[in-house]
Amino acid sequence: MAAGFVLALQAEQGPAPGRGGGAGPGGAGGKLIGGTLTPAAPDARGWGWQVKALINPATPRPFYNKAKELLFQDKQITSYTISTYNPDLYCEVGKHFDFIWFEMQHSTMSWDEVRRMMLACPGVGAAPMVRTPDAFESTIQKATDIGAIGIIVPTVDDAIEARDAARYSRYPPVGRRSSGGGSFGQVWPGINYRATVNDNMLVTVMIETLEGVANAEEIAATAGVDVIILGNNDLSSFSGWPQNEPRYQDSLIKVRNAAH
């Protein structure tokens, strides 16, 4: 089973907790805030060891997914969020970031607009990733067919939803992505896409609810899940706890420990 690993990524939700776990600045009067739980010690096998172990040794390195390659080197990655159709912006910021977060949960962009942006500058540098509104097969199929090599699924509550995110993102035998048409061949020309995209795909799930926190270990253990992101603002909203509340901080630590 593939263990997820928590990333310190910044998106609309704000910065997620990084490797240090559940304590950090931001409490009243500048005091440190934290929960009552003890963050688990890092696994001796290294960060993301189980995800790394599942990669096919025949897959060429470096990955053409820049974000995944840097994560496998234990490096921090950066992103830029695009929520409106703007090919010029995409082609420019794609030179300077590790992945582009195409926002399809909280925007009115169409799939065709995202497709046209990807085709405006194939191989620009940043890995094109899509935050989908759900983990439905039909949704993830559209994202992968237009060339996305990263899927971000919000408000994942349990391992069943995490499993769907992972399996619909990848071809058999490890997944159940359907073979079909699309523009992925134009976005990734000159490579053996079918043989390599499974390992280049970065499947990300967001834990943003108390249901997700309660099921964090099962979610993190789901085969094919590469990354867990904590949605700070939504977790506070769904739980009703402010972010400097010890119960909120304990939720962060619980998810972080599950990822370890």
- What are the catalytic residues? 106
Cα distance between the two ends of the chain: 13
C-alpha 38/C-alpha 109 separation (Å) is 42
Integer CA distances (angstroms), 64 to 61, 123, 131, 197, 242, in order:
8, 8, 19, 9, 39
117-136 b/e with 16+ CB inside 10 Å = b?
A: bbeebeebebbbbbbbebbe
DSSP character for 166? H
Residue 138, token pair as written in the block: 């039909």
